[in-house]
Amino acid sequence: MTYLRLFFEFFKVGLFSVGGGLATIPFLTDIGTRTGWFTSADLANMIAISESTPGPLGVNMASYVGFHVGGVPGGAIATLGLICPAIVVIAVIASFLKKFRESKTVDAVFYGLRPASTGLIAAAWIQVVKIALMFHEVTLESGAVETQLFYWPAIILAAAVFTCLQLKPLKKLHPIVFIGLAAVVGVVFQL
């Protein structure tokens, strides 16, 4: 039953997350809340791992959640659920390519999807900012847990990275350099 639910949940994500991997984040937030499969902190880790590993963000995250919930078969089933809608849509479009290519209705539909896609990506950006830079829990010496509105070490790191990226010599570096440095800083400072 878990495998069927994994497939169905990620099928819905694949069906409605128009706009790429970042557009899956609001759907994943909802899945985590409804199913309890992962927390918002787990989601932040999934985003970090998925962004720093090869492959599409959405597929990496589906594989991660599926593996977390159901092992290797769960990872395969969640990934299959995510990519299935795209395979079906591409198969249908390919069979009617000439008709779709000249259709003003299809052009209008895709033009109308742009704002929806932009909205999903903006929602994902807001979620990532909230997870990474805000509402950080700190354990006090008394053992009590306090939630701070801003996570200052992460904000300072983000400002430093933004500032460094404005320097011309650093703009020429390959993105993998920044991913590696971010991983080192995250491990060293436990961000």
Instruction: Give the per-residue pLDDT at 84.
Output: 92
pLDDT for residue 144 is more than 90: no
| Residues 33-44, mean pLDDT to the nearest whole number | 86
| Residues 153-176, mean pLDDT to the nearest whole number | 83
Q: Rounded to the nearest 5 degrees, what angle is found at the Cα of 172, between the Cα atoms of 171 and 173?
A: 95
Rounded Cα distance between 160 and 24, Å, is 28
pLDDT at residue number 5: 92
> Going by C-beta distance under 8 Å and a sequence separation of 6 or more, which residues neighbour residue 75?
62, 63, 64, 66, 67
Is a pLDDT exceeding 80 seen at residue 182? no
Query: Looking at the predicted structure, is the pLDDT value of residue 97 above 70?
Result: no
Distance CA 135, CA 137 (A): 7
Task: Say how many residues make up the chain.
Answer: 191
Instruction: State the average pLDDT over residues 128-154.
Output: 79
Model confidence at 100, pLDDT cuts 50, 70, 90, reads low
Report whether pLDDT(99) > 80.
no
In this prediction, residue 81 carries a pLDDT of: 94
> Looking up tokens 């128009």, which residue turns up?
18
3-state secondary structure of 68: helix
Report, as an integer, the average pLDDT of 98-115. Answer: 78
